[in-house]
Structure 1
Amino acid sequence: MELDIELQPSDLVGCRYRAVQRYRFAEQAPTEAAVRRIERAQAGRNRVLALLPDAPEPWDLQRFSRIHIEGDGEDAEFETLEALAAQATIITGAVFTGTSDGRRWRATPDVLVREGDGRYLPVIVSNHRVARPAEGRQQPLIATARLGLGAPSTGAYRVRHHAVDGYRLGLAARALAEFGLDSGRGAAIGQDRELAFLVDTGNYQPALSTALAASLPDRPRRLKECSECRFWFDCGPRLTAADDISLLFPGDRAEQYRLRGIDTVGELMDANLGEASALAAAWRARIPVLRRVERVTTPRFDVEIDIDVEAYLDQGAYLWGAFDGSDYHPFVTWGGLGTTAEADTFAGFWAWLCSVRDDAHSRGLSFAAFCYARHGENHWLTSSARRFGGHVSAAGHRVPSEEEIGAFISSEEWVDVFAAVRAQLIGPRGLGLKTVAPQAGFTWGEADLDGEASVDVYRIAAGHTDAAPDAVADARRRLLSYNGDDCRATSVVRSWLAAGAPGAPLLMPRTRPSESMR
């Protein structure tokens, strides 16, 4: 018999077994990474709460009241209903529970805003980028500071869909509909805390119904996020004991093999399915990287620069790092993202890079700049040019135009090392820099830092917390070390590829793949 579990929006995306484990291990504390994520989310909500109006302006000729609800238990739900009955203009901290499609659920919109017809607009605060500028688009929006007071306008933005955000709004709309108070639309406030983007909550209902009606799983399967989950202490050993194929292919990647009756890594090893069976054997033998080709190689240049960028969420790039083969060159700002401080930093980085390139050309030398998986670098190069193009710093450095950046990133002098790795290597745990570089003999000074952890360290480094000066200085040191090592790791991987990727076995799918791994 399936457990009667009250579902939250986060239970409807990613790992559905998490809800079962939360029921089984109700006292299990969240991981440190999860705590930091919760703290970032709360910081975003606090910022929005501070921006919301407390009273109407003199020219706002209307009745206005604002009610905040503390806690999240039965009393909070009762207070929510009382606030609705009182026709409060703005309600924060609302709690609803309900049942639909055979499931009990809980909805906690961050803000409820009473509209002119008496119905309510649910508003959520998300750490996602919920909308991006898009020329020619007309997206309904309203300033956070005018919620409950002003009328929506339109802006040139394109809304980005995030399933969990849609489910949060969809459930809140269902709750309001039970009292005849659903406006039919909701709003999402993302990383730009000053704008609320309006959406049609009816668009979320079909997917929400499907997600609610789906049965909860009776066993775990590994997903990418499992390593940060508080329940991995239980799921991990169970999956290992079962030799579950998701240990090798997480999420839906294993579905094609399950449909063929292959549920374990051992079964895949023995299935004679070429590359997949060889990967299973490599995973069992703890071999992280294999060669796809007989001879691995990569082009070299007279002057080589390895580049890595660090950004805070989607708000801006605060650190451009470059390694010239001898020295690490950081271009950094610890504050003012989106302002001249960030523009000056980018202008300084671009001026330095162009000076190195121009000097190489003047001496008749070949030049190339490298990164590992250029999606992030390309995004921030282009975005920085779009936001700050034409800006001239006090040092006389100019931010390039989008056209200049476009010409550079499409040239042969901008090289994605990951593309060369993916074309010539394969690995059972992926080919990220943190997987490949150790095979080339590289280690990080800040081994425990990764993309998400660096976000928390940046908040300290930029003074977004109450950390002491020594902690701020240490956070800045760690981020510079982390970025510098990413640049150096990219350089080391290139040298390793040029040497033929020594130590990496050749991928040799056979009837008994395990023999090729010996």
Structure 2
Amino acid sequence: MVGYAHAIVSASDYLRVIGPADLVGCRYRLVQRRRYPSAPRSDSSLMRLERIKLAREVVLDCLPQRPALGDGRSQRFIRIDIARVSLEEDSFAAELATLEALAAEATLITGAVFTGESENTPWRIDVDILVRQPEGTYLPVIISNHRVARAAPGQSTPVLATGRLGLGKIVNGAFRLRHHAGDGHRLAFAARALQDLDLDSGRGGLIGQDRSRAFIVDTDHFQEPLTVALTSALPAGPRRVKGCASCRFWPECESELKALDEISLFLPGDRARSLREAGIETVSELVEGNRGELSALARAWRDGVPLLRRVDQIEVPAAEVEIDIDMEAYLDQGAYLWGAYDGERYRPFVTWESMDSDAEAENFASFWAWLMERREQAHAEGKSFAVYCWSANGENHWMKMSARRFGGQRFGDLQVPRQEEISEFISSSEWIDLFRLVRTQFAGPAGLGLKIVAPVAGYTWADGDFDGEASVNARRLARGVDKQAMEMRALLLRYNEDDCRATAAVRDWLRHGAPGTPRL
């Protein structure tokens, strides 16, 4: 590792410099960033930047400004906040301010910037918080929108309250850490910068979706993965991956891929690895390659056919009382909207309050009470009953998670169900994952998402380009009380209703024999 060289980055040469985000996911983005420096950020990217900006604001507001009562008046405490600069801006002033704050032995430093060079690669790292340790070293703390830890009885993880950074002592909490490569790279870069200044504590902090806690980790085990990433050669050309659709360079990459008829257009990521090893590099080669279903799907993709039928006779369960539901969650923090459509009326159970609160618990209790009341009424009338959703993983997760977090809590006549009640329902024949039924009877060259299948069934969304990424941003804006917040609330309810109605439309289409779908 080359020694620390501060202020090496100027506004004119920032394109040479890499950051942690350049080392995860598609590495060809770095090539394209240098080739097309003026390409504007995508809407999805701007939304993510806005969310992390808000996260930083929340956390920085929680940090102490001075010792609290009980800390003792004699305790030394200095907090220095450095104005944050974007990757495209000259970092000289921010980096100089960082060095001055370190020289002043500040207790807390926010907005720190370091540049350096490792493996002949210049880099820059922005560190959200630096916390001075008793021995004079510094603990780098990063803010992330990931869920960096979960409660786990019996586990022991070092943790420190955000509001006590620089003042409190680290304690052990019952949590299990969750690793994210990008977060690890950020802490590894920060540790390298501090090590070059002989100020590295050997540990770092992670503040995730739970803004109230910093989880403490050793940074040594992040160093080898960072070195591997830094020394890996950049790709010679693009390949389609999951995140391409939201990338600002996708128009350029797509053009290159189409010119090559590159197989990743049809099989993104590593899905075509075995085919490449067999010498198949293009979609046309796969179509003509006699690879059974895979070749048939490649042909359908090339011809613009969204669905192929696996079976002659379509089967889908039916009941006298049928309800379609769809859930919306905010990141990994909680479910705020449970929508239900009974064939006549859409009914939303929604809260715009913060997650992990009484409001979220009461909202789920209301939804559950309504659903179970409909179930009991059907049974009392001697009618069959079924609840449908599209891909039950999300609904199952948040029903079980809500019961685990809030089970047994009462709100007047309402009570949050316990985990046993949830398990009984989702394991019953009355809870039907329509996606699983479709997957056994159809194949789709671009997958079998609801937004692929429902249009074939004749259903269209009122807001066609609104998706999961946009819904996360809309939920953040919907928490306000202004006109924009009201518009976002209406949009989210409309989006959720469309998902419920689309599921019902697919069921109806299936029962009519799924007209218009060719046989595989």
For the criterion TM > 0.5, the same-fold answer is yes
Amino acid at match of 2:428: S
Q: 1:87 to 1:367 in 2, by over 3 A?
A: same
Residues 398-430 of structure 1, C-alpha deviations (whole Å, 9 max, x = no match): 111111111111111111111111111111111
Single out whichever of 66-75 and 257-266 deviates more from structure 2: 66-75
Q: 1 CA distance for matches of 2:146 and 2:512?
A: 41
Matches within 5 A, 1:412-423: 412-423=429-440
Shift of 1:297: 1.5
Q: Who is 1:43 aligned against?
A: 54
CA contact (8 A) 2:160 2:213 kept: yes
Distance (whole Å) between structure 2 residues aligned to residue 15 and residue 243 of structure 1: 19
Determine if contact 1:248/1:428 at 8 Å carries over to the other structure: yes
Gaps of 5+ in 1: 508-518
On the 8 A contact 1:299/1:498 being kept in 2, the answer is: no
Q: Equivalents in 2 of 1:182, 1:499: separation in Å?
A: 67
Residues 4-403 of structure 1 correspond to what in structure 2 (within 5 A)?
5-61=16-72, 62-72=75-85, 73-394=91-412, 396-403=413-420
Normalising by the residue count of structure 1, what TM-score does the alignment of the two structures yield? 0.94
- C-alpha contact (below 8 Å) 1:221/1:246 kept by paired residues: yes
Say if 2:114 and 2:124, in contact at 8 Å, map to a contact too. Answer: yes
Superposition RMSD in Å: 1.5
1:456 and 2:442 are equivalent in the alignment: no
Moved more, 123-132 or 68-77: 68-77
1:318-375 deviation digits (Å, cap 9, x = unpaired): 1110111111111111113222211221111111100111011112211111111111
- 1 CA distance for matches of 2:84 and 2:498? 44
Instruction: Name the counterpart of 2:512.
Output: 499
SS in 1 for 2:271: helix
Per the TM alignment, residue 16 of structure 1 is displaced from its structure 2 partner at its CA by: 0.2
Kept in 1, the 8 Å contact 2:158–2:216? The answer is yes
Q: State the 1:497 CA deviation.
A: 2.3
Q: How far apart are 1:82 and its partner, in Å? A: 2.0
SS for the counterpart of 2:272 is helix
Distance (Å, rounded) in 2 between the aligned partners of 1:232 and 1:299: 41
> What SS does structure 2 have at the residue aligned with 1:94?
strand
Q: Offset of 1:71 from its aligned partner?
A: 4.4
Supply the distance in 1 between the matched residues of 2:242 and 2:346 (Cα, whole angstroms). Answer: 32
SS of 1:253's partner is coil
Which amino acid is the alignment partner of residue 26 of structure 1? Answer: P
User: How much does 1:4 deviate?
Assistant: 8.5
Counterpart residue identity of residue 390, structure 2: Y
CA distance in 2, matches of 1:203, 1:500: 56
| Distance in 2 (alpha carbons) for counterparts of 1:266 and 1:312 | 41
Whether the 8 Å CA contact 1:370–1:416 is kept in 2: the answer is yes
Contact kept? 2:40, 2:248, Cα under 8 Å? yes
Name segments (4+ residues, structure 1) moved above 3 Å. none
Q: Is the 8 A contact 2:15 2:34 kept in 1?
A: no
Q: Is the 8 A contact 1:113 1:121 kept in 2?
A: yes
Residue range with higher mean Cα deviation, 157-166 or 77-86:
77-86
Secondary structure of 1:298's match?
A: coil
Q: For residue 162 of structure 1, report the CA deviation from its aligned partner.
A: 1.0
The TM-score normalised by the length of structure 2 is 0.93
Q: How many angstroms apart in 2 are the aligned matches of 1:498 and 1:101? A: 61
**Code of the aligned partner of 2:316:** T
Larger mean Cα displacement after TM superposition, 291-300 or 37-46: 291-300
Matches within 5 A, 1:480-495: 480-495=493-508
| Structure 2 residue aligned with 1:442 | 459
Which residue is equivalent to 1:513? none
Q: Distance in 1 between matches of 2:193 and 2:400?
A: 42
Structure 1 residues 118-164: Cα deviation after superposition (integer angstroms, max 9, x where no partner): 11111110111111111111111000010011111121111111111
Of 483, 488, 491, 1:470 maps to 483
Structure 2 unaligned residues grouped into runs of 5+ = 1-13, 86-90
Q: Percent identity?
A: 56
Structure 2 Cα separation of the partners of residues 48 and 409 of structure 1? 37
Cα shift readout 1:263-290 (whole Å, capped 9, x = no counterpart): 1111111111111111110110001111
